[in-house]
Structure 1
């Protein structure tokens, strides 16, 4: 996990200098509808958002939650300005920051069988409406090629769960993060093979890719994970794995193209994933992400590290939560995947491995080439 000790670019973009109470000057993101510290307009937007969640709340309760989130966000900014390390902020303070980031135009939209959720349900996201309308089909097509990594324990009667996201990168081959298969401190789903850069799936788990795990779906589009022809070394900063999959049900999935672009910057972008369930779903968590029910979402945002075409890592500010790991990051100006999402934080921003870093690994390239003869490194 990256060290976010001094990395607060995401909130500085939206709120300005830490602890400031004045409006931002030139040079900050001009598309945001509101700039500066958390305030009453943020509270009103959060109240409006709460009206469209599954929570049964009266006006007084909604106002109370909204004011509490705004207060927590202000406290977080003051503590950061006073030198508190970001990782030491309280959970409520982080939620307050995330709630305001969402209402200032970082929506996480549900994916439906016939498109994506109406942006009008997300106050503050109006700046994305024209972009979403123009690229709606491309966004939906990318969503169709992204799946939930669905795990079932074959030895015990636990309920199945979603352990991240994956997307089809070539016929019969999907891409995800290494840590989706080998979660730090958790139960691995595979065992590395000594003679190769791959791994074998453990028979104690049944792992499928569900490409229709979205809101109120009536569809069935699944692939079974057969083995892992490539997984990066445990100490490799490029956190990636390739999964060999076989078709189970529904129409076959069209692969997404991994970008080879090495020049030019990324503008507005989106990331697709499956927000994981949380142990305690508080009103504040519900306000920010609704019910993180593992169903497919698409989140809009922008890069935070400038000309990322020359970087090995893309830092972006699209809203994510656990379960987006392994999801594709695309920009609105092209249909190719520009990065592989692997980690997120409301302060530091969200991090993804740039395509150029993936292409530099010879074994990764060879595995893709075997799956698609048209590919060459």
Structure 2
């Protein structure tokens, strides 16, 4: 039986995103599967409230183990028969689980580091210094009494870039510009890591600008004694040479989104841990010069709004992530705004990163 077009597309995506199918399949041996299950559901993991009475830790561990073992068999079929290999519906879920672990992971950040890269993403190790600099200068935007709103990153000494739809939650339009709403207390936490109570918080003191066309805002942040200065990220001054299979990554704080993402997908990708800093590698999919946008396939959720989309090779920020769907994510193509007066007035930096 020949595969239908949906199955072919799934197999094509697996072949592209897994980067090294034979090595991923080899990594899914018994020992490898045991290690992944243990890492995903450690002894400290607590069952989500929504699943209490419906499942327990042991059954979830077994379900994940079965998915990974089935996924390994599908990968073997992909190697032997290519994208026309038949895949049953239950096997499609298993293949998606494998892609979640190895193809488009959402790596938790701890102590400013992303840990050991998964199979297929060993290239991250070659760029660790630049990636961890981007991690250091990206923070979680919060509002007292409300909680997390999104992500932002430093683009000048005291200027943070985020999305317009994040900033308007605490901003109000006034004659000639924007200001903070009365009584609101927005801030940015440069840490926000899982199982780490330490904070590195700066107050958001003003809204410098909200772009009238693009989903982009610039915020003025204060200073805090005892905090070492963070280096602003450099924005790409020109388009990448090609969008074909170009590795990128985002740093952000994906939040739980029940409206558009199935609960089983949330559990599989994010271990039911949300709103903490993550590194999410992926690829640049396309560039739309007319709309000054780019598409990428990093694993993002709602709290990723305002994340930098960084070119792995040059470590310059290509885009400002603002949304997407299961097929692709969208970002403002920042190099096309290099001459935009809103950014130049704020001292936003374009070009190669400064030496550290």
What TM-score comes out, normalization by structure 2 length?
0.73
Q: Quote how far apart the aligned CAs of 1:359 are.
A: 2.6
Quote the residue 1:329 is aligned against: 309
| CA drift at 1:111 | 1.0
What is the root-mean-square deviation of aligned Cα atoms in Å? 3.9
1:62 matches 2:54: no
Does residue 32 of structure 1 match 2:19?
Answer: yes
Contact kept? 1:263, 1:310, Cα under 8 Å: no
Instruction: Quickly say closer, same or farther: Cα 1:259–1:24, change in 2 above 3 A.
Output: closer
Task: Indicate conservation of the 8 Å contact 1:166/1:176, yes or no.
Answer: yes
Equivalent-residue separation in structure 1 for 2:320 and 2:4 (angstroms): 28
1:176 and 1:325 in contact (8 A); partners too: yes
Q: Specify whether residues 338 and 309 from structure 1 end up closer, same or farther in structure 2 by C-alpha distance, changes over 3 A only.
A: farther
User: 1:264–1:309: 8 Å Cα contact kept in structure 2?
Assistant: no
Give the structure-1-normalised TM-score: 0.69
Aligned to 1:108: 106
- The 3 A distance-change label for structure 1 pair 261 and 150 is same
| Structure 1 pair 167–30 and aligned structure 2 pair: CA distance change class (3 A) | closer
| Residue 64 to residue 333, structure 1, CA distance change in 2 (3 Å) | closer
Task: Give yes or no for contact 1:95–1:285 (8 Å, CA) kept in 2.
Answer: no
* SS class of match (1:169): strand
Give yes or no for the alignment of 1:362 onto 2:347: no
- Tell me by how many angstroms 1:314 deviates: 1.6
Matches within 5 A, 1:11-30: 17-20=5-8, 29=16
TM-superposed deviation, 1:204: 2.7
The superposition leaves residues 346-374 of structure 1 with CA deviations (integer Å, 9 ceiling, x where unpaired) of 2x2111111123335333332336x99xx
How far apart are 1:321 and its partner, in Å?
A: 1.2
Q: Which residue of 2 aligns with 1:51?
A: 38
- In the TM superposition, 1:235-314 aligns within 5 A as 236=213, 238-249=214-225, 250-262=227-239, 264-265=241-242, 267-278=246-257, 282=263, 284-305=265-286, 312-314=292-294
Three-state SS of the structure 2 residue aligned to 1:323 is helix
| Residue 240 (structure 1) shift | 0.1
Q: Secondary structure at the match of 2:236?
A: coil
The CA distance in 2 between the partners of 1:357 and 1:21, in whole Å, is 32
Residues 301-340 of structure 1: CA distance to partner in whole angstroms, max 9, x if unpaired?
Answer: 01112x6789822211111111111011111211221111
| Cα deviation code 1:196-235 (max 9, x no counterpart) | 3xx11113321111102113336442211111111022xx
Q: Does 1:342 align with 2:292?
A: no
> 96-105 or 160-169: which moved more?
96-105
Q: Which residue of 1 aligns with 2:190?
A: 211
- Aligned ranges 1:152-191 → 2 under 5 Å: 152-153=144-145, 160-182=146-168, 188-191=169-172
SS at match of 2:8: coil
For residues 193 and 46 of structure 1, what CA distance do their matches in structure 2 show? 56
Q: Is the 8 A contact 2:204 2:221 kept in 1?
A: yes
Partner of 2:88: none
Number of positions where the alignment pairs a residue of Structure 1 with one of Structure 2 = 307
Per-residue deviation at 1:191? 0.1
- Measured against aligned partners, the alpha-carbon deviations of 1:94-134 in whole angstroms (never above 9, x if no partner) come to 99886443134111111111411333xxxxx31101x1211
Structure 1 unaligned residues grouped into runs of 5+: 1-14, 36-40, 75-93, 120-124, 154-159, 183-187, 373-377
Q: Deviations over 1:148-194 (max 9, x none)?
A: 001103xxxxxx51110000100111100001123xxxxx2110122
1:76-155 equivalences under 5 Å are 99-119=97-117, 125-129=118-122, 131-153=123-145
The 8 Å contact of residues 318 and 333 in structure 2, kept in 1 or not, is answered as yes
